[in-house]
């Protein structure tokens, strides 16, 4: 599904604050694989995810999604395959817009945003039904602005929004980092369910080793812009939670 071929990314090249964020990573992520990436701060996890999403472009190397070379394709074009959940709930939703407006945009992620009114009673009903599956009681608040919701609610809705339109790849950048333990659990469980139900290829970045242990079909540890460890599903299930802690020992 995603093929990364020897990519390098350096920020502030030639300056005193030069950062070699990604130093030659090659990676193949199969369809329906759920890759969990762990690693200390500054190991290049987020840069790698941004490279896949198209928010930053690689200096050298290539990236392809679904057999298409997307190395130079900007993020708003890669959205035809990719949906994203950001670390900060504010980044993934528009606060001043209503829940319904947010869902409308998500529902046409892969399509043109035209000059017709897309929000009608049928669409509203559809959104309400989707939101009801979260069991958060938000289905009667669809006219409220997104900004009135808590971070956990917003992350859960962002997840739902990602599957409003056809989606192949889901990128999760520390989606629970800003949440309390209970909301974090709801968000992670929702994510896992959606990834299974919709047969998504997913990449999760997390600092929560419990989540890294519990979720995913493949685990990778990054360090200084390189892949330090890469365990497939079999190796991952043989792994014990304490081994993960030892990785950071």
Partner 1 sequence: MDFYLTTVTLGLCYSALALGIYISMKIFNIPDITTDGSYTLGGAVTAMMLTHHQSPYIILPAVIVAGGIAGALTGLIHTKLKINALLAGILVMTALFSVNLTIMGRSNIPLSNLPSLFSLVQVVADPNQNTFWILLVFVILITFLIGYLLKTDFGIAMRATGNSESMIRALGVNTDRMKISGLALANALTALSGYFFVQSQDFADINMGIGIVIVGLGSVIIAESLINWLRITSVWLSLVLVLGGAIVFQLVLAVTLAIGVDPNMLKIVTAVFVLLIVSLPRLSLLRSS
Binding region for partner 1 (CB under 8 A): 53, 55, 74-77, 79-80, 82-84, 86, 90-98, 101-102, 104-106, 108-111, 113-119, 143, 145
The secondary structure of the chain, three-state, reads: CEEEEEEEEEECCCCCCCEEEEEEEEEEECCCCEEEEEECCCCCHHHHHHHHHCCCCCCEEEEEECCEECCCCCHHHHCCCEEEECCCHHHHCCCCCEHHHHHHHHHCCCCCCCCCCCCCHHHHHHHHHHHHCCCCCHHHCCCCEHHHCCHHHHHHHHHHHHCCCCCCEEEEECCCCCCCHHHHHHHHHHHHHHHHHCCCEEEEECCCHHHHHHCCCEEEEEECCEEEEEECHHHHHHCCHHHHHHHCC
CB of 147 to partner 1, least distance (A): 9
CB of 159 to partner 1, least distance (A): 13
Give the nearer residue to partner 1 in terms of CB position, either 77 or 189: 77
CB of 83 to partner 1, least distance (A): 7
At a CB cut-off of 8 Å and minimum separation 6, what does 237 contact?
A: none
Give the nearer residue to partner 1 in terms of CB position, either 86 or 215: 86
Give the nearer residue to partner 1 in terms of CB position, either 89 or 225: 89
Give the nearer residue to partner 1 in terms of CB position, either 28 or 72: 72
Distance CA 70, CA 63 (A): 6
Give the nearer residue to partner 1 in terms of CB position, either 33 or 101: 101
CB of 91 to partner 1, least distance (A): 4
CB of 164 to partner 1, least distance (A): 10
Give the nearer residue to partner 1 in terms of CB position, either 136 or 167: 167
CB of 49 to partner 1, least distance (A): 12
């Amino acid at each position: 599904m995603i093929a990364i071929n020897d990519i390098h990314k350096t920020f502030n090249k030639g300056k005193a604050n030069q950062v070699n964020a990604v130093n030659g990573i090659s990676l193949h992520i199969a369809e329906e694989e759920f890759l969990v990436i762990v690693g200390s701060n500054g190991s290049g996890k987020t840069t790698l995810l941004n490279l896949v999403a198209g928010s930053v472009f690689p200096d050298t190397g290539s990236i392809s999604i679904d057999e298409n070379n997307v190395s130079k394709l900007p993020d708003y074009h890669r959205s035809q395959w990719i949906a994203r959940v950001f670390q900060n709930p504010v980044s993934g939703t528009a606060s001043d817009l209503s829940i319904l407006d947010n869902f409308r945009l998500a529902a046409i992620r892969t399509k043109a945003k035209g000059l017709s009114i897309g929000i009608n009673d049928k669409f509203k009903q559809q959104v309400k039904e989707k939101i009801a599956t979260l069991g958060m009681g938000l289905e009667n608040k669809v006219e409220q602005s997104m900004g009135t919701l808590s971070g956990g609610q917003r992350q859960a809705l962002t997840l739902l929004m990602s599957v409003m339109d056809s989606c192949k790849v889901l990128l999760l950048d520390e989606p629970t980092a800003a949440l309390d333990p209970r909301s974090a659990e709801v968000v992670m469980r929702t994510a896992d369910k959606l990834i299974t139900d919709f047969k998504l290829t997913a990449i999760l970045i997390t600092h929560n080793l419990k989540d890294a242990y519990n979720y995913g079909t493949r685990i990778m540890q990054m360090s200084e812009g390189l892949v330090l460890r890469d365990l497939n599903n079999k190796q991952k299930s043989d792994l014990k939670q304490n081994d993960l802690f030892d990785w950071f020992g």
